Amino acid sequence: MVKKLFYILLAVIMISSCKSGGDRSADSNFEVPDSILNQGLEISEETMQNVVQNISSPVEMAALIKELGVPYSNKYLSSTTRVENLTTSFKQSLNLGIYGCDLGYLNMYNKTSSVIEYISAIKTLADEIKVGQFFDFTTLKRLATNNQNLDSLMYISVHSFNQMDKYLHSNNRSNLSALIVTGVWIEGLYLGTQVVKEAPNQLLAERIGEQKITLNELILILENFKADKQYAKLINELMLIKNEYKDVNIKIEKGEPEAIEENGMLTIIQNDKSIVEISDDQLKSIISTTEEVRNRLISL
C-alpha cells in the first residue's frame, strides 16, 4: 500500500514538473471538416510539409515596404472587431494568417500600442483551433506594453507562427496550416499592392510580379483539400488573381554563384537572375483584383 502511494505521489510530482517546464501539451479535440478526413490527401504529409515551408512570411513584405521609406498607415490593416464572428476553423485559420501578417507590419514599424490588439485577436483564434499553447501571449503583451526589447517581440511573434505551423503539420492538420499560409500571403500581397498603388516603386512592383511563383505553389497546396466546398471557393478566389498574372513574364538569366570571404564573413552572390516583366496595366489589374478578393475573404 505504502509502495503504491509512493508511486502515485511520484507520478503526480513528475506530471507537475512536466507542466512547469512549459505548457506544450495540446488538445486533440479540433474541428476538421468530414469531407477532408474522408477524402485522404493526394500527396503525402511529408511532401506537403516540404512544399509549404516558408511560402509566405508575415514580415518580409512589411520589411521591404519599411526599407523603401514608406510611412506606416493603419488603413491597410484588417479590423480585429471581426474576431467574434469567426466561428469555424476555416475562417479562424484564414484570419489567423491575415492578422499574423498585420502583426508583422505593426512590429516592423514598432506600433506597440496596436500590437496588443492584434496579439489578442491572434491568441483568441489560435486557442479556437487548439494551437494557442504555442503563442506566448503573456510575454508578447509584456514586451509590447513596456515598449522594450522589440527584437524579442518580433522573434517571439514569428517563432510562435512557425511553431503553430510545425505542430499542425505533425498532427495531420496541414489543411489548417494551408489556410494560415494563405491568409499571410493574401494580406502581404494586399499590403504590397495598396502601397504600390499610392507610392509607385519598381522594386515593389517586381516583388508583386514575383508573387506569380508563390501563388502557383499556394494553389497547388490548397488543391489537396478542394473536396471541401470552402477550400474550393477559396481556390476560385485565388484563381481570379492568378488570371491577372497570366501575362506577367518571369525570365531567368543564368550565371555562376560567387563566394566572397571578407573579415571572416562568408557571402554568396547569386548570379542567376530572375527578371520580372510586368506592365502598368497588369499591375493595376492585380492591385484591383487583390483588393476585391482580400475584402471578400475577410468578410466571409
Contacting positions for another protein (CB under 8 A): 3-4, 7-8, 10-11, 14-15, 17-18, 21-22, 24, 50-51, 53-57, 59-60, 63-64, 67-68, 154-155, 158-159, 162, 203, 206-207, 210, 213-214, 217, 250, 252, 257, 259, 265-274, 276
CB 229, min distance to another protein, A = 28
CB 74, min distance to another protein, A = 22
Nearest CB to another protein, comparing residues 37 and 63? 63
Q: Which long-range contacts (CB under 8 A, 24 or more apart) does 120-129 make?
A: 120/80, 121/80, 121/83, 122/96, 124/83, 125/83, 125/86, 125/92, 125/93, 125/95, 125/96, 125/99, 126/96, 126/164, 128/86, 128/89, 128/92, 129/30, 129/31, 129/89, 129/92, 129/93, 129/96, 129/176
CB 60, min distance to another protein, A = 6
CB 292, min distance to another protein, A = 25
Nearest CB to another protein, comparing residues 90 and 118? 118
Nearest CB to another protein, comparing residues 75 and 259? 259
CB 24, min distance to another protein, A = 6
Nearest CB to another protein, comparing residues 263 and 299? 263
CB 36, min distance to another protein, A = 23
CB 88, min distance to another protein, A = 28
Nearest CB to another protein, comparing residues 79 and 249? 249
Nearest CB to another protein, comparing residues 224 and 230? 224
Nearest CB to another protein, comparing residues 133 and 230? 133
CB 198, min distance to another protein, A = 19
Nearest CB to another protein, comparing residues 21 and 71? 21
Torsions phi, psi of 75, nearest 5? Answer: -70, -15
